[in-house]
Structure 1
Amino acid sequence: MASLRILVPVKRAIDYAVRPRVNSAQTAVETAGVRHSMNPFDEISVEEAVKLREKHKSAVEDIVAVSIGPPKTVEALRTAMAIGCDRSVHVETPEAADMLEPLQAAKILKQVVEREKPNLIIMGKQSIDDDFSQTGQMLAGLLGWGQAYGASEISVDGDTLTVRREVDGGTDVVKGKLPMVVMADLRLNTPRFATLPNIMKAKKKKVDKMKLEDFKERAENRLKTLKVAEPPVRQGGGTVENVDGLISRLKELGAL
Structure 2
Amino acid sequence: MPNIVVLVKQVPDTYSERKLTDGDFTLDRDSADAVLDEINERAVEEALLLKEAHGGEVTVVSVGPERAGEAIRKALSMGADKAVHVSDPALHGADVIQTAKVLAAAIGRVEGAELVIAGNEASDGGGGAVPAILAELLGYPQLTHARKVELDGTTIKVDRETDDGITHLEASLPAVISVGEKINEPRYPSFKGIMAAKKKPVDTLTAADLGIDASEVGLANAWSAVVEASPKPPRTAGQKVADEGDGGARIAAYLVSQKLI
Please confirm whether the aligned pair reaches a TM-score higher than 0.5, indicating the same fold: yes
- Which residue number in structure 1 is paired with residue 240 of structure 2? 238
Query: Where does structure 1 lack aligned partners over 5 or more consecutive residues?
Result: none
Per-residue CA distance 1:79-124 (angstroms, 9 max, x = gap): 1110011000111122x96332111111111112222141000011
User: Contact conserved, 1:140 with 1:147, CA < 8 A, in 2?
Assistant: yes
Q: 1:147 aligns with which of 123, 142, 148?
A: 142
Read off the aligned partner of 1:184 and give its amino acid letter: V
After TM superposition, the structure 1 stretch with the greater mean CA deviation from structure 2, 99-108 or 4-13, is 99-108
Q: 1:19 aligns with which of 17, 20, 23?
A: 17
Instruction: Among all aligned residue pairs of Structure 1 and Structure 2, give the percentage whose two residues are the same amino acid.
Output: 28
Deviation at 1:247, TM superposition (A): 5.5
After TM superposition, the structure 1 stretch with the greater mean CA deviation from structure 2, 22-31 or 229-238, is 22-31
- Which residue number in structure 2 is paired with residue 8 of structure 1? 6
2:158 aligned with 1:160? no
2:67 aligned with 1:72? yes
Equivalent runs, 1:103-122 vs 2, <5 Å: 103-116=97-110, 117-122=112-117
Distance 1:47 1:251, change over 3 A: closer
- Which residue number in structure 2 is paired with residue 183 of structure 1? 178
Query: Where does structure 2 lack aligned partners over 5 or more consecutive residues?
Result: none
Give the TM-score of the pair, scaled to structure 1. 0.88
| Residue aligned with 1:89, SS | strand
Give the TM-score of the pair, scaled to structure 2. 0.87
- In the alignment, the residues of structure 2 paired with residue 167 and residue 8 of structure 1 have an alpha-carbon distance, to the nearest angstrom, of 22
User: Contact conserved, 2:88 with 2:206, CA < 8 A, in 1?
Assistant: yes
Deviation at 1:42, TM superposition (A): 0.9
**Count of residue correspondences:** 250
Read off the aligned partner of 1:123 and give its amino acid letter: A
After TM superposition, the structure 1 stretch with the greater mean CA deviation from structure 2, 110-119 or 16-25, is 16-25
Distance 1:245 1:74, change over 3 A: closer
Deviation at 1:191, TM superposition (A): 0.8
- In the alignment, the residues of structure 1 paired with residue 229 and residue 113 of structure 2 have an alpha-carbon distance, to the nearest angstrom, of 38
Read off the aligned partner of 2:233 and give its amino acid letter: P
Q: 1:171 aligns with which of 153, 166, 169?
A: 166
User: Contact conserved, 2:61 with 2:107, CA < 8 A, in 1?
Assistant: no
| Residue aligned with 2:83, SS | strand
2:32 aligned with 1:30? no
Read off the aligned partner of 1:237 and give its amino acid letter: Q
- In the alignment, the residues of structure 1 paired with residue 163 and residue 258 of structure 2 have an alpha-carbon distance, to the nearest angstrom, of 33
| Residue aligned with 2:71, SS | helix
- Which residue number in structure 2 is paired with residue 196 of structure 1? 191
Read off the aligned partner of 1:129 and give its amino acid letter: D
User: Contact conserved, 1:150 with 1:185, CA < 8 A, in 2?
Assistant: yes
User: Contact conserved, 1:26 with 1:229, CA < 8 A, in 2?
Assistant: no
| Residue aligned with 2:4, SS | strand
- Which residue number in structure 1 is paired with residue 205 of structure 2? 210
User: Contact conserved, 1:22 with 1:230, CA < 8 A, in 2?
Assistant: no
User: Contact conserved, 1:16 with 1:40, CA < 8 A, in 2?
Assistant: no
Deviation at 1:174, TM superposition (A): 0.6
Read off the aligned partner of 1:106 and give its amino acid letter: A
User: Contact conserved, 2:156 with 2:173, CA < 8 A, in 1?
Assistant: yes
Distance 1:23 1:53, change over 3 A: same
- In the alignment, the residues of structure 2 paired with residue 33 and residue 247 of structure 1 have an alpha-carbon distance, to the nearest angstrom, of 42
After TM superposition, the structure 1 stretch with the greater mean CA deviation from structure 2, 210-219 or 72-81, is 210-219
